[in-house]
Structures are given as structure tokens and as C-alpha cells.
Chains A and B, each alone.
Chain A
């Protein structure tokens, strides 16, 4: 196994995890004020009415697909008597639809960003970089779906190489050789994905962590007071503690 393989399939994954986790914690700790979707709907509503829901529903489906494909071992689905063909058909069908929605959505979002004057003016360099990483990961992902399914090429069962490698990282028993023997398209997609996750905490994508599921359970009207233990108040910032 070459140094390149160790670097890409052992070092890079752990660096990604480290940056992703500490970056997110750091950002949450020091930059709550910048933690927002920075919605641009105020400037333009016609295109975003279509683009944003299609993109988001697509990408969320893609996330679910990744979780199933990467985390659930083939032996489990075999045990549940889901045949390889059936699994494939489902994964490819749903994956292609979700991927297409995501791609269509993101292209439309970018078109909107570029062509709507005020939206473009409000696009930061950070946003542009984020879109490069995002689009790269999405396009390469779609390509792997096409290749894996056999629509392009001979088909490929990534659940025998990529998925076990992915799990091996989290089991702290990295098996770079599995990844090294998979197809180049899968390798490039994996690297693009890791780069996206490295950038993630420092872009507006952090808004995904704030998905407001708690809204379903909380009472409508929120009251805040200091409570018995100053619970409503934030601690003073350093240097600004109250004297006397």
C-alpha cells in the first residue's frame, strides 16, 4: 500500500473528523451571531420558491441514502432477505431521483445567485467557495451512482469496499486497502466529500445543524426571565464582569 493511500484513506478522514468537530464547536462557541441561513428570500422570491425546496428535499434524501448505504452492512440486508438486485434497484432509483433533484436545485440556486443583482451582491467569497465544494461533491456523487448502477460501465458494488472502509474509520480500525481497490470515481467522490466536510463548519452550511425539530414540541409562546439561578442570562464576557 502506498503512502498516498495511507494519506487519503487514513490521515485525511481523521483530519476531516477533527476539523469538522472542533470547527463546529469553535464556531458555535465564538460565532453564534454568524450562525444563520442568511436567507436571501427578501431579495427574490420567484426562483427560490422552487429551487430551495427541491434542493433541500433532494439533499436530505441523499443524506439518508448515504447513511443507509454506508452504515448498514451488506450482511444485514442479506439476513433480511433483501436480494442484491432488489437493493440495487431501490438504491439506484431513489438515489438517482434524489441526486437529480439536488443537482437541479443547486444549479437553479446558483443561477439565481448569479443573475439576481441583489443576491449576487450579497454573495460572499465564502459562499462561492462553499458552492464549489458542494457542487463538486454532488456531481461526483451522481457520477458514482451512474457508474455503480451499471448505467454507465459495468456496475459496481460499493458495499463491499467503500462502505466497510467508511465504517472502519469510525471503528478506529482503518482499512485503507479496501478503498484503494475501489473505482477511481468513488475515490474522487470520497475525497470531494471529505473536503466539503472540512469546509462545512466555516460556511453557512452550519445552518443544517440547527434544523429546528424542537419546534414541534415546545409551547408556542416563549417567556424568559432570570429564574432562581440566573438561568435566563448569559455569563458576562471576559473583562466586562460587573463590579460591586
Chain B
């Protein structure tokens, strides 16, 4: 047994209102730079829907993640030699169109056009070519089932189910089903991106399992982008380097939750530690039957209260405060103790570490619409059996199609709902409700505290990085904090000679200059966008 710690996340999908706050704050923090305009480390997609980049879940086409061949784990896109042979042009790389062509608007037209009869308009301009463009797709074009009958049926998950159960899908869907799926990098235990990187620039931090790209070692082979089945590594087309979600490591190191979690309107994200057995990861990822993967993944997670585990963890250098944080970990409770959280697409065999509590609300809504008591345990259990399609859909997302664990998770949520109604109405509680889902009253109540009350200090149990190690973590920095960089700057000794100016410094100077200036700065001098528009500057009247 080799114990390692993993910083992991759980999202409670029932609470996601699809507001995209997490995406926007993440973008402001990490990808508000040239070269990554099209990049959303955090994105929120409507299911059913095509996702971002479109149809990324169709691994027959994109060849992300791992497969098992004769009991051996290998990347779906081929062995090492095959992948090296494909390095000159990567056959599985999505193009910009598969994400979307980023754009801005000609905001300064609104200020600088002369007084006239018509209201001036700000036309969309491509951020790639600089030309006028027609907006035809975006990171959440099919938000809230927009374009439903035309777009949603191309959802790869739906396609898969349709192949299995026929036309029944469509009807029931439209009647009963829609939810949001916020996604970040999964910080996998068996990361396909790291395995795909020819130069070894991507790595998993052994202290907390965060997966990063070393910007100085990345050579732009762009094999990680296609290697990741979740398409959560992105190519910065200006610097020619890969970038990805960093799990806000500078915040995590000082005990703060990630930006997406902190700003989440639904307060639905949980961050905490897993202890896992690193020796068993490869074997667990290689189990033959896809439907055994969930169980194999759960088996990797060690009980932090087990004295043997604790002893091994100490031996393997996990500090004492991390051990106690692991004991209080909300993600361990939700994933392994209550077993209500499930990993996204375990069949990709990367052992993803962002888990999801599946949404019960679509079922509740459907039940209420039929005029039934939607808080009654019996009704809910019945509905869970009757509403086959939504559950099959969730199963394709979270359990490689195995209905069992999804239903069991939803039943626990249903039980919690119905049991707590009795508590809130001051009625006699019914111990038979938790018993029906294999829980006792006490643990059901605790689960309710964690999921429904969800106090800040219960949602985030993040031990600080140790001061004696913190410096090294900082030096390991996969600095994605440079704007400009390669691309259009040419120094005396070739492109990008010297060190680029960190974004913070550049922005600081730019803003200071604009805020303290006495003269009007001509708008042509800077590209005006929503972020830097400050009302100063104007037309040349």
C-alpha cells in the first residue's frame, strides 16, 4: 500500500441553476488572455446537449482516454509508437470550430459613431481573424435546450441510449428532463493527458494530486488535448502551449476553495481530500467490465479512520493535519460513506476525481406535474422505477450505463427529502424510510446537513500546503500567468526573447495609465472589450 492524498471535488447537481457564474469567475481568474479566448477551464453544459467542445463524449470519434486490450491498459488513440508517428499532425485534435470561434463586439462604435437617426450597433468581430463574423456556435449554444429538437438529439449520450432503447427516448425526454452539468478538469488518478504528453511536461503533484502543465517544458505537441477524454486540456494558440484547469492551486495551497466553488451561487461544490492507494490505480483502471470501474474506483479510496491506513499514510509522509482533514473530508463522505456521489464517465478509465450527486429534481418535478405528492417516499421510489429514460441517461454519464448505483443514489436523496419533511412539519419521524435505503436516521440526518444546510466549513475542508513545502509548490508553478508570450512579439534574438511580463503587472500598468490620465486616450490604440472598457476615451470629434 502506498498512500497518496488527492484534492477532490463533489458537485451536487440538484442545486445547479445553470447560472454560469462559476465559468465567468474562472475565466476572469485564469483565461482572460489572448490565445485562450475560446477556453473555459470551467464550463456548464445543459444535458441533454452536445457539450463543449461539441460531442466530446463520442470517444469513437475523438479517441480520448484509455481502453483495455487483453487485460492491458492503453490509450485509446494508440500505443506510444503509433502516437509518436502521429505527432506531425494529430488526427484526433478538435479544431477551433469544435469549440467555437471567439468574438468580441465593436463596442467603441457605440461611442464613436456620429449622431444620427439610427442607434449605432456593435457588430461581432472574430477574435481570431479580426473580421466581422456571424455567431453560429459557442461554449453553451444549446443552453437550456436551446435548439432542442435539432441539437439535443446529437448528444452522444442520447445517441448511445437511443441505440439501445429506440425512439422512446425523445418523447419522455421532452416531458421530464433537463439538468446542468458544470465541468472542470477531473484531476484524474490515472490521467490520460499526462500519459499522452510526449515531453513529460504534464504531471500530477504528489502532494495533492493536482494535474498541471509545466509551461517551460511544454513543446506544443498538442497530444494531451486529444488524449483527455473530457477535453479539459486546451491549446493556447498564441503561446503554443497547453493550458488547463489548475484547481486554483495558489488558493488551495493556502486553504481557500477554488474560484468556481467560492463563487458558486448554488453553493453546491464540495472540496476535500481522498486518501488512495497509488499502487492499485493501474490495476483498478484495467478491470475488464466497464461497469466494475465504479466499484474499483471506490475501492481505491482508503478509509481515513482506519488505523492501518493512518499508519501507512504517516509512513508515506502525509502530514498529521492532512490526515485529520481527510477524516473530515466531505467528498469522502459523499462518495464512499453515503455513496451518493458518482464519478463522471468512469468508463474512460482515467479515475476522475470530480464526483457528482445526480439530480433528483427532474423526477420530483415530473411527479408533481402528474398531481402526485412529490415528497412522499413511496411515490418517489415508484417514480424512480417508472422514469426509465432519465435514469438510463444518468447511468450513461456516471456509471457506464449501470442503473443500480444511480438509482440507489437517487433513492437516498428521495428518502432524505421525505424523511426531512416529517422532521420539518414536526411529525413523528419514520425510521423505515432510511432503512429502506440502507441507512439509519442519524446518518441520513448528517447527510442532510451536508447536502442541504451545507455550511461553508463543512463544504470545504482544505488543509494548507505545508510551509516547509509551500515554497517548492510555488516554484513548481505551471505559470499560465503570462500574456503575450510567444506569437507576435519578436525580440532581437528571435521570437519571445526574454521573459514575458506577468499578466497582473501588465494589467496593473495599463489600468493605472488609463485611470490617471488627463488626456483622452484614442480608442484605436487599444482593443476595447467588456473587460477594459472604462468610459474613458472616445471618438475623434
Using a CB–CB cutoff of 8 Å, the interface residues on chain A facing chain B are 23, 26-27, 30-45, 48-49, 51-53, 55-57, 117-118, 121-122, 124-126, 201-204, 207, 210, 212, 214-216, 218, 220-226, 230, 232-236, 242
Q: Which of B156-164, B187-195, B337-345 contacts A (4 or more CB under 8 A)?
A: B187-195
Q: Which of B203-211, B292-300, B375-383 contacts A (4 or more CB under 8 A)?
A: B203-211
B204: chain A residues at CB < 8 Å are 221-224
Q: List 27 A-B contacts (CB under 8 A).
A: A31-B493, A32-B216, A33-B496, A33-B500, A34-B496, A36-B218, A42-B222, A42-B237, A121-B128, A121-B129, A124-B488, A125-B490, A126-B490, A126-B495, A203-B494, A203-B495, A215-B84, A216-B80, A216-B81, A216-B84, A221-B194, A221-B195, A225-B205, A226-B469, A226-B472, A232-B476, A233-B476
Complex: chain B residue closest to A57, CB-CB = B88
Shortest Cβ distance from residue B376 to the other chain A in the assembled complex, whole angstroms: 48
Shortest Cβ distance from residue A187 to the other chain B in the assembled complex, whole angstroms: 28
Q: Which of B106-114, B479-487, B524-532 contacts A (4 or more CB under 8 A)?
A: B479-487
Beta-carbon contact of A215 and B198 below 8 Å: yes
Beta-carbon contact of B472 and A212 below 8 Å: no
Beta-carbon contact of B475 and A202 below 8 Å: no
A242: chain B residues at CB < 8 Å are 471
Complex: chain B residue closest to A225, CB-CB = B206
Beta-carbon contact of B490 and A36 below 8 Å: no
Beta-carbon contact of A53 and B96 below 8 Å: no
Number of A-B contacts (CB under 8 A): 176
A122: chain B residues at CB < 8 Å are 237-238, 487
Shortest Cβ distance from residue B26 to the other chain A in the assembled complex, whole angstroms: 21
Let me know if B319 is at the binding interface, CB within 8 A.
no
Beta-carbon contact of B88 and A221 below 8 Å: no
Beta-carbon contact of B198 and A34 below 8 Å: no
Complex: chain A residue closest to B475, CB-CB = A233
Beta-carbon contact of B95 and A222 below 8 Å: no
B411: chain A residues at CB < 8 Å are none
A214: chain B residues at CB < 8 Å are 199-200
For chain B, the count of residues having a C-beta within 8 Å of the partner chain is 64
Given A42-B93, A45-B95, A224-B206, the answer on whether A33 and B485 have CB atoms closer than 8 Å is yes
Beta-carbon contact of B500 and A35 below 8 Å: no
Beta-carbon contact of B80 and A221 below 8 Å: no
A46 to B276, CA, bound (A): 44
Beta-carbon contact of B200 and A215 below 8 Å: yes
Let me know if B419 is at the binding interface, CB within 8 A.
no
Binary contact readout B199-227 vs A (1 if CB under 8 angstroms, 0 otherwise): 11011111100000001111111100000
A89 to B203, CA, bound (A): 49
A207 to B499, CA, bound (A): 19
A37: chain B residues at CB < 8 Å are 219-222, 240
Q: Which of A36, A52, A233 has the most CB of B within 10 A?
A: A36
Shortest Cβ distance from residue A25 to the other chain B in the assembled complex, whole angstroms: 12
Contacting residue for B486 out of A33, A44, A51, A212, CB 8 A: A33
Beta-carbon contact of B497 and A31 below 8 Å: yes
A95 to B31, CA, bound (A): 47
Interface set, chain B 478-526, CB cutoff 8 A to A = 482, 485-488, 490, 493-500
Please name 11 further chain A to chain B contacts, defined as beta carbons within 8 Å, in addition to the given A34-B485, A125-B490, sorted by A numbering. Answer: A23-B493, A39-B222, A41-B90, A43-B96, A118-B129, A212-B198, A214-B199, A222-B204, A223-B204, A224-B205, A230-B472
Contacting residue for B240 out of A38, A55, A221, CB 8 A: A38
Shortest Cβ distance from residue A243 to the other chain B in the assembled complex, whole angstroms: 11
A34: chain B residues at CB < 8 Å are 485-486, 494-497
Beta-carbon contact of B220 and A38 below 8 Å: yes
Beta-carbon contact of A204 and B495 below 8 Å: yes
Shortest Cβ distance from residue B495 to the other chain A in the assembled complex, whole angstroms: 5
